[in-house]
A and B are shown apart, each in its own frame.
Chain A
Amino acid sequence: MNNQEIRGYIENAISENHVMLFMKGTPEEPRCGFSARTSAALNALGAQYAALDILPDPRIKQELVAVSGWPTSPQLFIDGKLVGGCDIVMEMYESGELAEALGVEQPDEEEMPTAPAAEAPESAPLGIENRLA
């Protein structure tokens, strides 16, 4: 796969998935604390999302940064629009804006961990085949 094909793949992933997370590792096995917290926030809300591991090839990150204009990972897109990285997603999770953006119900206050632990989701999130590997 050349860089242009990788970029096309990334752009398709963003436009075809309502909720698209680019992360280091996978939701089941995150390879970075920031990615772990971001996917854990989505899991805590029971969101269906697609996730793509950027680590298998350094060109994935290069092209993602070029597409989004955002320098770090993870990156969360909702409806084709960059929402942010770990800090913004966590702020939005705590304020209820993330649930709103995802169109899901915010859990009750007492059930909602303030900083969700990076646990494996009960049901596997919608997977995306990583053809970039």
Chain B
Amino acid sequence: MPTTEELRQRIEAGLPGASAQVQDLTGGGDHFRAEVVSDHFAGLSRIDQHKLVYDVFGDDVGGPIHALSIKTSTPEGDR
């Protein structure tokens, strides 16, 4: 069962320089929320920003990670 720490590490490894905060929304180890701040998001639409985060997890999202709620931002604070 994935943990918030594992998700945080995977996001930060997959998006070098990113900082992530991950919550387990239900305590059940399958519904998570990730707030991710990264330079990688600059200039991208929201959908492409979220896809970058989903791509870190590949098929795990929709599998062991039933739901991953995402909020993305860049270090400057804009979207």
Contact = CB atoms under 8 A, between A and B. Distances in A.
B1 interface: no
A31 B43 CA distance: 35
B50 interface: yes
Given A34-B67, A87-B70, A87-B71, A71 B46 contact: no
Given A65-B62, A71-B62, A72-B62, A88 B69 contact: no
Contact of B50 (A34, A65, A85, A92): A85
Interface residues of B, number: 14
A69 interface: yes
Interface string B52-78: 001001010110000111110000000
B47 A83 contact: yes
Interface string A48-83: 000000000000010001000111100000000011
A65 B54 CA distance: 12
Contact of B54 (A71, A86, A91): A71
A92 B67 CA distance: 20
A87 B50 contact: yes
Contacts of A83: 47
A86 B69 contact: yes
B46 A72 contact: no
A88 B50 CA distance: 9
Interface of A: 34, 61, 65, 69-72, 82-88, 91-92
11 contacts: A34-B67, A71-B54, A71-B57, A71-B61, A83-B47, A84-B47, A84-B50, A87-B70, A87-B71, A88-B46, A92-B46
